[in-house]
């Protein structure tokens, strides 16, 4: 055991939290990582499309891209709303822990 850690202290502070906090943490962490991954894929796809357009290989209609991105954003927002609604339906004592875990997952994800 590390000499700098006291008897009641762990290296992972979230392990000491309740089950609802861990569930909220996992959901928030997943949503943030998923959003980052989708932005990476979207950015890569747009760069490839713009490069192909600059070479004259394809023609891109900006309105189609805007509507596709808008549809994706709406889908992500509905997924976040669904997760927040589900976490808020937990019993009253665990709702606060779940929501705190959700926001901690978003922050640390």
Token code pair at residue 67: 């509507």
CA separation for the pair 106, 100 (Å, rounded)? 10
Q: What does the pLDDT profile of the chain (109 residues) look like in tens digits?
A: 455 555 555 565 555 668 888 888 898 899 899 889 988 998 998 899 889 989 988 888 888 888 888 898 898 889 888 888 887 777 656 777 888 888 888 888 7
User: Which residues fall within 8 angstroms of residue 65, CB to CB, at 6 or more apart?
Assistant: 46, 49
Q: What is the pTM of this model?
A: 0.63
């Amino acid at each position: 055991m590390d000499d700098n850690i006291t008897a009641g202290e762990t290296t992972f502070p979230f392990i000491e939290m309740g089950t609802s906090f861990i569930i909220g943490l996992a959901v928030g962490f997943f949503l943030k990582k998923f959003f980052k991954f989708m932005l990476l894929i979207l950015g890569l796809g747009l760069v490839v499309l713009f490069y192909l357009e600059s070479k004259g290989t394809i023609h891109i209609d900006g309105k189609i891209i805007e509507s596709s991105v808008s549809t994706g954003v709406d889908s992500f927002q509905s997924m976040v709303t669904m997760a927040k609604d589900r976490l808020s339906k937990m019993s009253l004592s665990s709702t606060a822990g779940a929501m705190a875990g959700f926001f901690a997952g978003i922050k640390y994800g």
